[in-house]
Amino acid sequence: MMARATQTNEPGRCALLVPVLAALPQPVALIEVGASAGLCLYPDKYTYRYGEHLLGDGDLVLDCDLVGIQPPSRRPEVVWRAGLDLSPLDVRDPGDLAWLDALVCPEHAERRERLHRAAAIVAADPRHLVRGDLAEELSSLIAQAPVEATLVVFHRSVLYQVPSDRRAAFVDFIRRLDRVRWVAIEGPDVLPYVDLPPPPDDTVLNVLALDEVPLAWTRGHGQALVWFGPDVTAGSGGDAAM
Ligand SMILES: C[S@@+](CC[C@H](N)C(=O)[O-])C[C@H]1O[C@@H](n2cnc3c(N)ncnc32)[C@H](O)[C@@H]1O
């Protein structure tokens, strides 16, 4: 505990990303800032159950209650992925995996099983995680992304850990990027949204936003998504090369 930081990595959160990622022009290239071990960089590898609607046929099934939009009809096609973290973890390292396991509450057996299944999927696939601060290292990762794919920078439950001046520098930087789509899932007070509708209940919820447009309330580990914004998920999203 003296040597490590709190950096819970929850693959269930991919169920919140998929409705937005699948609606963008395909294929996509993903950069996650604050990626921890990168388990959320693999939304194309997991299976999703949105109510009665099953997407995929793998053995790691992520359940999510979807309110206000139709379930996505496809998973995103990911052609490139990279992550950035102050302290990236490697799921192939038994010490790092044990730390991720220790960050799951003892009674959350389902989350622990999900963590280990996702870690096995990630360990089998080459990954590109770099160490660095999100306000400083992002531009070099962007320069490596393939130009023929829709480039998506995303983060979830990260900016609350970033001091306000660094957070402002990151927001300022990302606003000036022209070829990037920006997906944020953060607490309602972390980014400067105005006129958010009241949350559906009094639990702690995050806001899903695309390019600074708030779209939905989301539950912490990806269990539920309540849509309130414009339906950016309608339509297929088309082809990134067009
Ligand atoms: C709560 S974890 C969330 C991990 C992952 N996004 C998820 O949702 O499963 C926050 C992560 O952000 C990273 N982080 C915090 N401040 C950062 C910064 N300034 N630059 C890069 N990563 C940072 C931490 O190291 C940690 O891995």
Which atom of ligand 1 is least distant from the CA of 13? 8
- CATH number for 11-227 (one of 3.30.420, 3.30.2030, 3.40.50, 3.10.20): it is 3.40.50
User: What pLDDT, in 10s, does the model give residues 228-238?
Assistant: 999 998 765 55
Under DSSP, is residue 99 helix (H, G, I), strand (E, B) or coil? helix
Q: What would the mean pLDDT of 15-19 be, rounded to a whole number?
A: 98
Ligand 1 is surrounded, with C-beta below 6 A, by: 5, 7-10, 13, 33-34, 36, 40, 84-87, 133-134, 156-158, 161-162, 166
Answering whether pTM is above 0.85, one says yes
SS (H, E, C) 124-185: CCCCCEEECCHHHHHHHHHHHCCCCCEEEEEEECCHHHCCHHHHHHHHHHHHCCCCEEEEEE
Which residue among 14, 31, 46, 85 is best mutated to probe the pocket of ligand 1, counting the most ligand atoms within 8 A of its Cβ? 85
Asked if residue 224 has pLDDT above 80, the reply is yes
DSSP state of 114: H
Between residues 102 and 242, the one the model is more confident about = 102
> What are the domain boundaries of the chain?
11-227
Residues 6 or more apart in contact with residue 149 via CB below 8 angstroms: 27, 28, 29, 79, 80, 240
Percentage above 90 pLDDT, the chain: 87
Q: What would the mean pLDDT of 75-100 be, rounded to a whole number?
A: 96
User: What pLDDT, in 10s, does the model give residues 79-89?
Assistant: 999 999 999 99
